[in-house]
Amino acid sequence: MKLLLDIGNSSVNWALEKGGQLAMDGVFSYDKNTFDKNLQENLSFLQTPSNILVANVAGNKVFADLQSWVKQRWRIECWQPSVSTKFNQLKNSYNDIQEMGIDRWLAMIAAWEEHHTALCVVGCGTALTIDSIDLEGNHFGGYIIPGIELMQQALIMKTESINVSTNKHVSIAYAQGTQAAINNGAFFATTAMIDRVVMNLSDELKTLPKCIIFGGMAELISRLLKNEFQHESNLVLYGLLIAYEDYQ
């Protein structure tokens, strides 16, 4: 039994793997200052896994805290992959691959290994990421913009006259109040960005790419998109498992 962890900037997605399938999964929010406590509260009920696979974009301190907690509880080491220039037919476009978050790369690996076709892969977390891949597995590149909540927080914090809270009401309708206007504007900006990328990629490839969306806000955002997106809640974890099997 392997324990798979996808550590984002504000939450952890986890799953147990048995026989190549994810048998159990979950998600929990965490605080970097109390990460060991968050791990204890959410994962201590698990039996000792054979391996722990980690995709981490939260920094070295979080990984060090994880390693310490795991060694104390289960006396095993954590394994984490790194971004590479290629994975089978999938080719990374980044000039400096160290600049790419491991979650984006693993998501692309999982999507490509499943579909082997042109792809638009969208991650909806603290940040919104969009990556485009052609029919031969060439990664054209991508975009990163603030996610829904971060976009709203930035506007509220940096504007003196706006005193409202963030919201997650799924709407792009005209708003008749400031809070709704900020909420709807964030959803509109996000979905317009995604729709435009799909349109541009379709024009360039002369075919509609397979569209895949993942992350904490994926289900909400996908309701507003023009094209059909396949929601894969554990895309990064599947990519993590694929990378580990290739490493072995």
Q: Which residues are catalytic?
A: 103
Give me the amino acid identity at 15: A
- Cβ pair 32, 82 in contact under 8 A: no
DSSP state of 206: T
- Which 3 state secondary structure label does DSSP give 14? strand
Determine phi and psi for 116, rounding to 5 degrees: 45, 55
Contacts of 113 by beta carbon, 8 Å cutoff, 6+ apart = 88, 90, 239, 242
Distance spanning both ends of the chain, measured CA to CA: 16
Identify the CA nearest to 220 among candidates 130, 128, 109, 119. Answer: 128
